[in-house]
Amino acid sequence: MQSINKRYIWIFFAVLISVMALAYIINVMSIPPASKPQVFVGDNNVNAGYVTITDAKGNVILQTGLPVYEKDEYISAENVHYVIISVSGSKAVAKEKQTHTSFQYRPVNKVLNPIAQNRTNSVPTQAAPRNVHVVIYHTHSDESYVPTSGTPSKPGKGDVYQVGSALKDSFDAAGISATHSLNNHGPHDINAYHRSRRTATQLLKERPDAAFDVHRDSAPLDSYATSINGLPSSRVMIVVGRSNPNIQTNLQFARNVKAKADDLYPGLMRGIFIGKGDYNQDLYPTSLLFEVGTEGNSLDAAERAIRYLSDSLISVLTR
């Protein structure tokens, strides 16, 4: 009798573990990893492909290589808040949701132990000690700039690494410590975010004040090219994942950064895209993804943009 009871107990736990594993797999598969198309030049090539989002009258709101889904949102450079209402192939339509004349700065919370997901023990960043620490990595480690490298993709050694290094240098100069991961998360496919998640998890053991995933977009050059202080620069778009429990904190952090950048360098920020997926931002409430230019920008323009952006980040993080 005792052996029979033990057998039933083992069967119960085996079934329970199987159900939990199946639920986890379904949850992961239900939130598709966000990924831009990989682009090639020369014999292989063609332009990457991008989605054009318009309003009901056909006015272009945004062009981006990011996947676009219904219910995604976009806050434009002018702070007009749109929601995507339909998507068909490479075209999408959005309607205005809300307009903000400006964003009001609000402090966001830093998780003291993100790995344990202990969000009850968080404190405002403005109350934290001033030895600020950040981490930087690159999910799409191949992304490059055609005018500089002659190709939009250099597997494992993309130009985005140099953009990340420029960001780290700016933090170092301001007295902010930064860890810049050069991990390769190739190939550039739908599983890149799963691979970079391991890097992000490892970096978050350092308990940083913020985590940044640096990319470049795929879109027409005129959507990102600009001039700041008389010098050619790319623009920057912030991306926030809406399929994660930290969405409100991530978004407020993004708004704080955009508001400061708008004040310091008008024209630098392209806006904030709020897309389906989590972009690994479920791991940390002060985690942002930056799209720094497009493949048509030069590396110099992208590095200049990230240095301008760093001034905003430094101001927000040390506030």
Strands 80-88 and 91-99: antiparallel
Asked if residue 83 belongs to a domain, the reply is yes
**Residue at which a domain ends, from 99, 120, 148:** 99
Residues 235 and 281 in one domain: yes
Residues 151 and 7 in one domain: no
Structure tokens at 212: 């940044």
Residues 57 and 21 in one domain: no
Answer whether the bond into residue 187 is a cis peptide, omega within 30°: yes
Residues 133 and 274 in one domain: yes
132-170 pLDDT per residue, tens? 999 999 999 999 999 999 999 999 899 999 999 999 999
Asked if residue 204 belongs to a domain, the reply is yes
Residues 93 and 159 in one domain: no
Low-confidence ranges of the chain (pLDDT < 70): 1-48, 98-130
Q: Closest by alpha carbon to 129, among 200, 177, 81?
A: 177
**Residue at which a domain ends, from 65, 80, 99:** 99
Helix (H, G, I), strand (E, B) or coil at 107: coil
CA 73 → CA 78, 241, 281, 287, distances in Å? 14, 10, 17, 18
> What is the rounded CA–CA span in Å between residue 286 and residue 240?
10
Give all strands of the β-sheet with 210-217 in edge-to-edge order.
60-64, 51-54, 91-99, 80-88, 73-76, 269-275, 236-241, 287-294, 210-217, 133-137, 177-180
Q: Which residues contact 8 (CB under 8 A, 6 or more apart)?
A: none
Measure the CA dihedral 171/269/72/251, to 10°: 40
Structure tokens at 81: 């808040």
Residues 203 and 161 in one domain: yes
Residues 93 and 195 in one domain: no
Asked if residue 37 belongs to a domain, the reply is no
Asked if residue 35 belongs to a domain, the reply is no
Residues 116 and 190 in one domain: yes
Instruction: Write down the pLDDT at residue 49.
Output: 85
Residues 233 and 251 in one domain: yes
Helix (H, G, I), strand (E, B) or coil at 23: helix
> What is the rounded CA–CA span in Å between residue 286 and residue 208?
9
CATH of the domain at 193: 3.40.630.40
Structural domain of 25: 1-30
Asked if residue 197 belongs to a domain, the reply is yes
Task: Report the amino acid identity of residue 319.
Answer: R
Q: Which residues contact 228 (CB under 8 A, 6 or more apart)?
A: 265, 267, 268, 304, 305, 308
Asked if residue 36 belongs to a domain, the reply is no
Residues 229 and 143 in one domain: yes
Q: Which residues contact 185 (CB under 8 A, 6 or more apart)?
A: 138, 139, 140, 141, 192, 195, 196, 199
Instruction: Write down the pLDDT at residue 249.
Output: 95
Q: How many domains does the chain have?
A: 3
Q: 303: part of which helix (H) or strand (E)?
A: helix 299-317
Residues 95 and 113 in one domain: no
Task: Give strand pairing partners of 63.
Answer: 52
Residues 180 and 276 in one domain: yes
Asked if residue 180 belongs to a domain, the reply is yes
Instruction: Write down the pLDDT at residue 319.
Output: 84
Asked if residue 104 belongs to a domain, the reply is no
